Amino acid sequence: MAATPPVCDFGWQAVDGILPGVDGNEHQISEIAGPGGLVVAFICNHCPYVKAVIDRIVDDAKKLEPYGVGFVAICSNDADAYPADSFDRMREFAKAHGFPFAYLHDADQSIARAYNAACTPDFFGFNADLKLQYRGRLDAARLDQPEPGTRRDLLEAMIAIARTGEGPREQVPSMGCSIKWKEAA
């Protein structure tokens, strides 16, 4: 089922946490930030929305490096109900797509809940002070292959944030599969 996150809550402080990465290390979210900011992307392995754009996500993360923007992806889906999103499958997915960023497992879903993550993919763009400045789509192509000249919303917003500390006032929300929440105990 498709889900759409709420609009950007400008100035909201990034929630920090330490999560295991597919590289075998623990990662603190705040330490991934660069001098130009941080992108926190909630993704998963099985979602058709993520699969359609994953190579563009990887490309944008690489293009943001020279601007000092850190990038982290987090999978928070219930891996018991969705085995394709298990930690082992996350490793395979990251390797297959050559992730240049940490891919973290939020097994207890506490980070996704703290961020109020709604879908995969769901992008949060923070400035150098880890204040939210962007919560929108990757680009105007969505599931399609982008035509030349297609607006690259996340990339353009994060470059502006790295330069000025502020994101665009008009943002188009991301759209994707809903986060697969665990049933309440």
We report the CATH number of the domain holding residue 173 as 3.40.30.10
Which H or E run includes 113? helix 110-115
Closest CA to 23 of 13, 32, 33, 14: 32
Q: How many distinct structural domains can be found in the chain?
A: 1
DSSP assignment of 140-156 equals TTTTSPPPTT---HHHH
Q: How many CB atoms lie within 10 A of CB 104?
A: 27
Query: Phi, psi at residue 161, to the nearest 5°?
Result: -65, -40
How far apart CA 56 and CA 71 sit, in angstroms, is: 13
Whether 101 is covered by a domain: the verdict is: yes
Structure tokens at 38: 């941080």
Residue-wise pLDDT for 65-120, tens only, equals: 999 999 999 999 999 999 999 999 999 999 999 999 999 999 999 999 999 999 99
User: What tens digit of pLDDT does each residue of 15-65 get?
Assistant: 999 999 999 999 999 999 999 999 999 999 999 999 999 999 999 999 999
Q: By residue range, what is the domain housing residue 23?
A: 2-178
0.85 exceeded by pTM: yes
As given in the structure block, the two tokens for residue 176 are: 């994707």
Residue 184 belongs to some domain of the structure:
no
